[in-house]
Amino acid sequence: MPTQSTLRVRPLLGLASALLATAALTACSAAPPAEPPLQGATIGGDFTLTGENGQPVSWSDFDGRYRIVYFGFTYCPDICPTDVQRSMRGLALFAQKEPGLAAKVQPIFISIDPERDDPAALAEFTAAFSPDLIGLTGTPEQVKQTAEKFAVFYSRGEEQPGGGYLMNHSNITYLFGPEGEPIATLPTDQGAEAVAAELARWVR
């Protein structure tokens, strides 16, 4: 038969077990996120291009801010507008929940068609998606060097029957950290909600 002292000890043991379990759960929930997918990748680097106001803009101008970076062209009929719309909508959804964190993010659109995308064309394009989105262009050589640093492929397509041409290019939406380090790609193919979730995972 259990003694009176044994009956007192058992509740104490149960309480201790519960406290240990709670501590373990707290430790798990406080664990840092997994290592960024692009950590250590040699993607990105300093550049100087031309902004929408015609003034020089360098990569280092964004030091201290997270950066969403997408390479495309304003005459793109479908892929670029879709990707940019989803990334900007995702940033807006993230801002609804975390306005302070979202304010740390600078979205950037870099043209791979400098022959047609002058500052005025870029300003009109970016304004259609977000007042926070800025467009950059440059000389063909500047754009080529920048695209190489960001592991972006592009080439000019064939002339179209009605005139003009399209551009072939990789459509990757990058997320970089405050020191310009690559963090992850944003899943624009999965929609704005997925973009918002990815931003919430990495922006601190």
pLDDT tens string, the chain, 204 residues long: the values are 444 444 343 443 343 344 344 344 333 434 456 899 999 999 999 999 999 999 999 999 999 999 999 999 999 999 999 999 999 999 999 999 999 999 999 999 999 999 999 999 999 999 999 999 999 999 999 999 999 999 999 999 988 888 899 999 999 999 999 999 999 999 999 999 999 999 999 999
Q: Give the model's pLDDT for residue 3.
A: 45
Q: Do residues 138 and 154 touch, judged by C-beta distance below 8 A? A: no
Residue 96 lies in a domain: yes
pTM assigned to the model: 0.84
Backbone angles phi, psi at 173, to 5 degrees: -105, 110
**Looking at the 3D structure of the chain, how many domains does it have?**
2
- Give the residue numbers spanning the domain of 18: 1-31
CA 180, 145, 79, 50 torsion: positive or negative?
positive
* Same domain, yes or no: 9 and 84: no
> Residue 81 belongs to a domain with what CATH number?
3.40.30.10
Contact 193, 89 (CB under 8 A): no
The answer to whether residue 69 is domain-embedded is yes
- Cβ–Cβ < 8 Å for 124, 92: no
> Is 37 part of any domain?
no
Specify whether 98 is located in the same domain as 136: yes
Residues 52 and 123 in one domain: yes
Residue 123 lies in a domain: yes
Integer Cα distance of 192 and 92 in angstroms = 9
* Residue given tokens 């406080």 in the structure block: 30
Q: Is residue 154 part of a domain?
A: yes
Structure tokens at 192: 């704005």
For 42-78, write each residue's pLDDT tens digit: 999 999 999 999 999 999 999 999 999 999 999 999 9
> Is 42 a domain residue?
no
**Does one domain contain both 90 and 10?**
no
Sign, CA torsion 10/14/19/20: positive
Residues 79 and 25 in one domain: no
CB-CB contact of 136 with 109 (8 Å): yes
CA distances from 146 to 49, 153, 165 (A): 9, 11, 22
Indicate whether 25 and 53 sit together in one domain: no
39 lies in a domain? Answer: no
